[in-house]
Amino acid sequence: MEQPSQMVVQQIRLFSADIVPFYLIRTAPGAEYLKRAFAFRDSFVNENGEVAFTFGALTHEDEGVLAINLLTIGERKIVLNVAGSSGDASRFYASLVEAVSQLSADCPLASVKPLILTQETTTSARLDLRWADFLAPQAVSALEGRVLAKVGIENEATIKTVGLKVVVAFSPNAELLRHGISLADKTIIIEPRINTPLEDHIFFVTTPLDSATHLQLIEDLERTLAPSAG
């Protein structure tokens, strides 16, 4: 695997009640303070009643500029999406907690861990794999032979993209159930990047993992599925 590009990490933190100072953040002064603190281009209340901030940045003299794609804050939930690694996302969260603490002197956010932290990582990566390596040989033969022959009766048909999608369901533990928290399904997606020739072997990969584990999973899949592994 070549060095992945366009890494994006999303972190979701869910808290017990009265931890996030949501009612202060959703005021005009509160939202404006966070907007200025991280140079967000826009802020608004989304369809879920959460305060959303888009296209901001975290600037650090040693780490450079971290692009913040999205931040949403609700009564019990904080979602952040950054163009970087899980470490970068956690660094932004730490700065966010510090900024929120400036709004509310008695804010417990800095001293309370979330009930749950989930992460999702997305990257583009050039792999030593073909789309056919994700399917059984019989399926590949059927697709390239009988299926294409039938759909291409009047016009020549070729395979444009083939992807792998796995949906993972989770059962919340007793602590989450006690707080009335359910867990949404998460998806693993591996597919050729859109508008990129299949022969370029560039894949778009999304997993419900931190960035380090995400990269390790890609390496493991490549090692296992590559033709040379057989």
**pLDDT tens, position by position, 201-216:** 899 999 999 999 999 9
Query: What band does 63 get if pLDDT is binned at 50, 70 and 90?
Result: confident
Where do the DSSP E strands lie in the chain? 5-14, 42-45, 51-60, 64-73, 77-82, 116-126, 164-168, 186-192, 202-207
In percent, the amount of the chain with pLDDT more than 90 equals 62
Residue 196 phi/psi, 5° resolution? Answer: -125, 130
Q: Are 74 and 12 in contact (CB under 8 A)?
A: no
Q: Counting beta carbons within 10 angstroms of the beta carbon of residue 8, is it exposed (0 to 12), middle (13 to 18) or buried (19 or more)?
A: buried
Better-predicted residue by pLDDT, 154 or 188: 188
pLDDT at 115: 95
pLDDT at 138: 75
The lowest-confidence range among 4-8, 79-83, 110-114, 144-148 is 144-148
CA distance 90 to 105: 22
Question: Which two three-digit tokens encode residue 16?
Answer: 């017990």
Q: Taking 60 as the threshold, does the pLDDT of residue 221 lie above it?
A: yes
Q: Taking 60 as the threshold, does the pLDDT of residue 167 lie above it?
A: yes
User: Domain locations in the chain?
Assistant: 17-111, 122-229
